[in-house]
Structure 1
Amino acid sequence: MYKLLIVDDEKEIREGLASWSWETVGIEVAGTCSHGLEALQFVEERPVDIVVTDIRMPFMDGIELMTSMNARYPFIRVVILSGYSDFEYAQKALQFGAIDYLLKPLQFQMLRDTFARAVERLREEKQAELRVSVLKRKAELLTRVLRDDFLRRLFQEPLSEADFEEGCAGGEVLLEGGSFTVAIFRPDRIAAGAPIGDKERRLLAFSLDNILEDLWEGKELGYHWVNGQTGEAYVLCAKPEAERHFAELLPMWRKYRGLFKSAFSGGIGHAAAFPAGIHLSARAAAAALAANAEEGTLAFASPVHAAFRPETAEPATREPSRAGAAEGGRPGEEPVSALLTQAKQYIRDHYDRSLTLKEVAEQVHVSGSHLFALFKNSGQTFLSFLTSIRLQRAMELLSGTNLKIYEIVEQVGYSDPAYFTEVFKKHTGRTPHEYRSRSR
């Protein structure tokens, strides 16, 4: 049977829909949720085939939910619930990917007909397309896991240049420029020691993560990581005027106060000129937050001696020793050149999927740090070489095919279209759409 998730902020409707005889159309109710953010958490943890959702809900409405699911779970089908007053809105939802809509009050025959069509549509889909969706989903999950782990380490510990490059490549993180500032936000009720269950804690962390992805990454201001145990959100601003951006973020939490049942306080660290200083900025932000006794406000890190300020931090590590010396020979000797040639060929053969420095190093039987040094001493880095191969192929596909942008993103090894666009524009000076238009 196909799995169904019911999403509506009205308890009576949720319970009424859940009690209907879904087995008559080959469907089983997997669960119910009261708003879009809760539904997103549900589908991330459990398999779902169809979602029936109301349009008007707090925190995340039906259109926003559908848009998020289209990006993350394109194989999930959505049916919209709406009242007569939202009829035009429901029709518009069809343009965003909904397969059908139902008008309230619900009629059982219409309910049966709608979901019979939905099930038939699911059955007609080719198995090959489903396999592609599953593989794509696995790649996206891998990238997300790598990104979360890298950002956690970036905020909490110093990283070597090799670890930094590995994290940026595997997690699709772009950190370039000359200003990196960290702020830490916390729900005040958790800081005050209010009791909170595991389920609520997971929903809080999940909701924070998704909200910041929209409010922060969506505006290309930087990156974030949410500590699932403490509920603290580490937010990195990679733009100038970081304090202004953080100050603008704080009032936005008010929209979600009913969801979190809490105001948020924050602490802002010192600006760092290099990514190597990000963990120091986070440390200063944590100290400022710990000293902040006023709920719903931002506190700033106290001044520190210039010799210890994050902006004076050197890049992640000192310059590595020459690659040839690391192998007991001189730079440019044949064994070293052969290793680098093998590594580059492996990248050319496998650039179209998630690829890490560690994997390539294992293929040529050296450590990740040594391969990093080989690349750097050749005048480029592992990440820059991988990026050049991917972008060259992307430009060929943009100018020579009619593939959609998201299809090209997948074919050149990226999982995040927004990250691809950011990298493409940085290296070519144009967005993918602009490049395609001009090349033709």
Structure 2
Amino acid sequence: MYQMLIVDDEKEIREGLTAFEWAPLLIEVCGVCTHGLEALQFLESSPSQVDVVLTDIRMPFMDGLQLLETLHRQYPYIKVVLLSGFGEFDYAQRALQLGAADYVLKPTSFPALRNSFTRLVQALDQERHSEENRQALMHKARSLSRRLREEHLARLFREPLSLEEIEIGSNEGEMLIGEGPYFTILFRLDRMALHGNKMEEKECQLVMFAFDNILSDVWEGEGRGYHWVGRSQAMLYLLTSDENPAELAQAVKEQLYRFMGLFKSTLSVGIGGKVDRIEQLYLSTQSAWELLHHEKEADRMAICSTPVCLPAAPLVPSSESRDRNLSRKRENMLLQQAKQYIEQHFGRCITLKEVAGELYITPGHLGALFRQSGETFMQVLTRLRMIEAMRLLQDPRYKVYEIVERVGYSDPSYFTELFKKQTGLTPQEFRGNRYERT
């Protein structure tokens, strides 16, 4: 059933409209108001979402057109049908221009009312179906983003990566990694590591799933950093930039111990050495691993007190040397084709590998072309998304979560952080400043 609010200053009309048989049209009257201001107050305090407002045009305090304009800004998802007298045709035309779904002439004919709302409910059904499809697509997008994040974190903790690989992986996984220094905190499930107690596959999957969800709440949910669960090793990897990782590790360990009855094991902790650059994180992981490897007692915490460092040479050879024989003309053509593809598809999850595949070249080759132009692939992609987001934020019809989806992200929190990093403002602040200027 769709919820409808009736707004009219004439008691007889309110009562007549309320008495109409709305149920066969899948509509339920959830409230009645005498003018626009009262309607806005009702909407603000209503515990349930109102889908339709049926309102008169001529009313005291705030008329139907003023109410329509306000609803268009504050509640763009609400459909508005106006009641219009025979002498108010200009008002009705203006209402349609402002986005009214329909208007019904007064005195109201029940057949006309039924026809109007039959069409309206069909439109609402179509929107609901579209919303269900959108939600399904967003679920797929979130699942893809989560998988890309897990794959990127697995590599980040254990392998030497170039800054470009880290930038691309972080954006694909919708991660914002702050300034260093960085530490790896490693949790070991002593039950398996020390005592050799093997868990059945089903039990192991359940325990690792529980760890993943708990850490999503107590670690990432608190903004402490990112985590990855090494399911095959029964190890938990945590990334932090906090200068006191031991204190954080102890707090998390205490929270995990609340679920000891589930995983039936003590936990030992290894805190890797401090690294200054994110591409050195695997060295912090290695030092944490070595500490736990030599720690043979259960329920212990070992801390590496010596910072680890890396030679200044790049970790991954640059692909630029492979591209030196490309002609300048071909390079420019490929780069323009890549940018054109990004402009056409930035509204969904898009990767360097995908774009390179469209051009029949390697991701390393395409990455080198972008770097030579002065912008990386991710910088171009993020810039285009932010420009579109700023444009959409100027239109009050779009909610922030809708804009997040339209510019290719699945996590509103990540989008907000990225938007603020790019513009210095949150999306809400940007939208508010725009209204203040106008």
TM-score normalised by structure 1 residue count: 0.65
Aligned residue number for residue 192 of structure 2: 190
1:326 aligns with 2:323: yes
- Quote how far apart the aligned CAs of 1:176 are: 4.3
Give the match for residue 39 of structure 1. Answer: none
Distance 2:226 2:162 in 1: 20
Which residue of structure 1 aligns with residue 149 of structure 2? 147
CA distance in 1, matches of 2:241, 2:275: 10
Q: CA deviation at 1:388?
A: 1.0
> Aligned residue for 1:404?
399
Could you tell me how far apart the structure 2 residues matched to 1:258 and 1:313 are? 47
Q: Offset of 1:288 from its aligned partner?
A: 1.1
1:207 shift after superposition: 0.9
The Cα of 1:280 is off from its aligned counterpart by: 1.3
TM-score by length of 2: 0.65
User: Counterparts of 1:32-431 in structure 2 under 5 Å?
Assistant: 126-191=128-193, 192-301=195-304, 303=306, 309-310=308-309, 316-317=315-316, 320-321=319-320, 326-329=323-326, 333-431=328-426
Q: CA deviation at 1:287?
A: 0.8
SS at match of 1:293: coil
Aligned residue identity for 2:137: L
Cα offset, 1:159, TM superposition: 2.3
- SS, match of residue 271 in structure 1: coil
Per-residue CA deviations over 1:288-345 (Å, capped at 9, x if unaligned) read: 12223343332113647xxxx23666554355537xx715146xx2221121111111
1: CA distance, partners of 2:324 / 2:266: 56
Q: Distance in 2 between matches of 1:160 and 1:311?
A: 13
Give the secondary structure class of the aligned counterpart of 2:268: strand
Cα distance in 2, alignment partners of residues 425 and 356 from structure 1: 23
Contact map agreement 1:182 1:236 (CA 8 A) in 2: yes
Q: CA 1:409/1:124 → structure 2, altered by over 3 Å: closer, same or farther?
A: closer
Structure 2 Cα separation of the partners of residues 273 and 418 of structure 1: 26
Maintained 8 Å contact 1:182/1:285:
yes
Given the superposition, is the C-alpha separation of residues 344 and 125 from structure 1 closer, same or farther in structure 2, using an over 3 Å criterion? closer
Say if 2:245 and 2:271, in contact at 8 Å, map to a contact too. Answer: no
Please say if residues 278 and 310 of structure 1, whose CA atoms lie closer than 8 Å, have aligned partners that are also in contact. no
Unaligned segments of structure 2, at least 5 residues: 1-124
Superposed CA deviations along residues 329-379 of structure 1, whole A, max 9, x for unmatched, are: 46xx22211211111111111001010000011122221011111111211
Q: Is the 8 A contact 2:320 2:365 kept in 1?
A: no
Q: CA deviation at 1:125?
A: 9.2
Separation in 1, partners of 2:245, 2:313:
21
Is the Cα–Cα contact under 8 Å of residues 289 and 299 in structure 1 kept in the other structure? yes
The unaligned stretches of length 5 or more in structure 1 are: 1-122
Distance (whole Å) between structure 1 residues aligned to residue 242 and residue 385 of structure 2: 26
- d(CA) in 2 for partners of 1:188 and 1:430? 46
Q: Secondary structure of 1:310's match?
A: coil
- 2:274 and 2:306 in contact (8 A); partners too: no
Aligned residues: 310
1:359 and 1:179 mapped to 2: Cα distance?
Answer: 33
Q: Larger Rg: 1 or 2? A: 2
For 1:424, the aligned partner's letter is F
**How much has 1:201 moved relative to structure 2?**
0.7
Shift of the 402–263 alpha-carbon distance from structure 1 to 2, 3 Å rule, reads: farther
Q: Is the 8 A contact 2:346 2:385 kept in 1?
A: yes
Tell me how far 1:435 sits from its aligned partner.
2.1
Contact 2:225 2:241 in 1 (8 A): yes
